[in-house]
Amino acid sequence: MKFQLGAIFASALLALWAGPVRSQDKPDGPTILDNPFDFSSEPKLPIVEPAGSETIRRAIDRGVRFLIEDQNKNGSWGSATRTKGLNIYAPVPGAHHAFRAATTSLCIAALIEVDSEIPEATAALDRGEQWLLEHLDSLRRATGDAIYNVWGHGYSVQALVRMHRRHDGDVELQARIADLIRLQFEMLGRYESVDGGWGYYDFRYQANQPTSDSISFVNGAILVALSEAEQIGIKPPERMVERAIAALKRQQKPDFSYLYGEYLQYRPMREINRPGGSLGRTQCCNCALRAWGDQKITDKVIKNWLYRLYVRNGWLDIGRKRPIPHESWMQVAGYFYFFGHYYAALSLQQLPAGEQGPYRPLLAKLMLDRQEKDGSWWDYPLYDYHQPYGTAFALMTLRRCQPGIL
């Protein structure tokens, strides 16, 4: 009996390790999985039938309709309801203002990007923008130990960048948006970790400036946002960027995966720090360093990690929808799922235009297969923020899977 159970367990584990690749789709010959430190070759991709443009558009439209119906009356998205006693530490009211600001920013960014032809989408977007313009300047940390507001500052920069482009020609509004972006720079500087970068907890809280170590994927997400701001001519503080890059590089491992946080630097092979545990944040961190000119993040590094995200997707997917963070294999938390794929899509755009095509079907399949009946996507039950933020991430991912999108 013990042998049978062991065999069943081993078979299940092998199936998980293989991720979504069918046996007939497995590439011939060695891959990055045979030598995780060898990025000298292109990955040999599995055969995945591309989703048609119309299929992707229908999924996007369903997601947009969900966001329209889920929007709060005041124009924001998400709320502190549906707790069920399982949610993460979130002191009120500050933590929820942070969650709402970040979620609303992601929804605004998604609606701008997908440019839906659904008539109600424009009105929903206008209401969302108005809420952000009116409420963003009051975003602060909730308590000394809960710094969730950094997510709001980071994702609002991305939303504001897209709003700045959307309102091209409206000089007064663009100036207001630019001022708000600079305010987020100021706030990010205020909540910067003492060694550079950012975290979302400071349980060693002793001073106004956070004294905890930075967290790799927080650094990555904010560096991506700061890079986007620079692209529209709003330059972030150079010293802040340099310190965040240095903090992120200290957490990089030889295979271009990343520690969860710098506090785990002496436990590099703890489950959460292994490639399977890093799968949802590696894309973000590599994307961020590439965006800021790191030449070590080559096209082949990006391609091999896109390949790895697909064929090892089971490690990430097994944590999806679990209500307790880090209870899964490799200490994966559910909220890494659509986050990781969004940054994989941004990484995809960093490749030469003519080399992006083969990777789009991989990301598209993962997104299309996980859309809910109501049109949403979600990966972790975070109060009532999970469906709008998951949907926003998935919409922006799918948009980059469409042929002709650069």
Residue 383: pLDDT over 60: yes
Residue 184: in which H helix or E strand, if any? helix 171-190
Residue count (the chain): 406
For residue range 233-255, what is the model confidence (pLDDT) as tens digits? 999 999 999 999 999 999 999 99
Task: Give me the pLDDT at residue 20, please.
Answer: 52
Q: In this structure, which amino acid lies at residue 30?
A: P
pLDDT interval class at 18 (50, 70, 90): very low
CA 191 – CA 146 distance, rounded (Å):
11
Average pLDDT, the chain: 92
Percent share of the chain, pLDDT over 70? 92
Residue 21: pLDDT over 60: no
> Higher pLDDT residue, 9 or 186?
186
Residue 262: pLDDT over 80: yes
Do 305 and 282 contact (CB within 8 A), yes or no?
A: yes
Q: Give, to the nearest 10 degrees, the angle between helix 299-311 and helix 337-349.
A: 150
For residue range 337-381, what is the model confidence (pLDDT) as tens digits? 999 999 999 999 999 999 999 999 999 999 999 999 999 999 999
Domain 19-399 matching CATH 1.50.10.10: the answer reads yes
Long-range contacts of 53-61 (CB under 8 A, 24+ apart): 53/402, 53/403, 55/368, 56/364, 56/368, 56/398, 56/401, 56/402, 57/402, 59/367, 59/368, 59/371, 59/398, 60/114, 60/116, 60/395, 60/398, 60/399, 61/116, 61/118
Domain ranges across the chain: 19-399
State the average pLDDT over residues 185-212. 91
Tell me the H-state helices in 71-146: 94-114, 119-135
Residue 198: pLDDT over 50: yes
If we measure between CA atoms, which residue out of 325, 308, 349 comes closest to residue 272? Answer: 325
Sole residue written with tokens 């941004």: 346
State the average pLDDT over residues 265-287. 96
Task: Give me the pLDDT at residue 2, please.
Answer: 38
Residue 158: pLDDT over 70: yes
Task: Give me the pLDDT at residue 360, please.
Answer: 97
For residue range 86-141, what is the model confidence (pLDDT) as tens digits? 778 898 889 999 999 999 999 999 999 999 999 999 999 999 999 999 999 999 99
User: What DSSP designation does 252 have?
Assistant: B
Task: Give me the pLDDT at residue 145, please.
Answer: 92
State the average pLDDT over residues 201-216. 88
For residue range 26-59, what is the model confidence (pLDDT) as tens digits? 556 667 788 889 999 999 999 999 999 999 999 9
pLDDT interval class at 12 (50, 70, 90): very low
Peptide bond into 93 cis (omega under 30): yes
pLDDT interval class at 81 (50, 70, 90): confident
- Residue 131 CA to chain centroid, in angstroms? 23
Residue 77: pLDDT over 60: yes
DSSP codes of every residue in 320-387: TT-SSTT-SGGG--GGGHHHHHHHHHHHHHTS-GGGSGGGHHHHHHHHHTT--TTS---SS--TTTHH
CA 361 – CA 367 distance, rounded (Å):
10
Residue 227: pLDDT over 90: yes
Task: Give me the pLDDT at residue 13, please.
Answer: 44
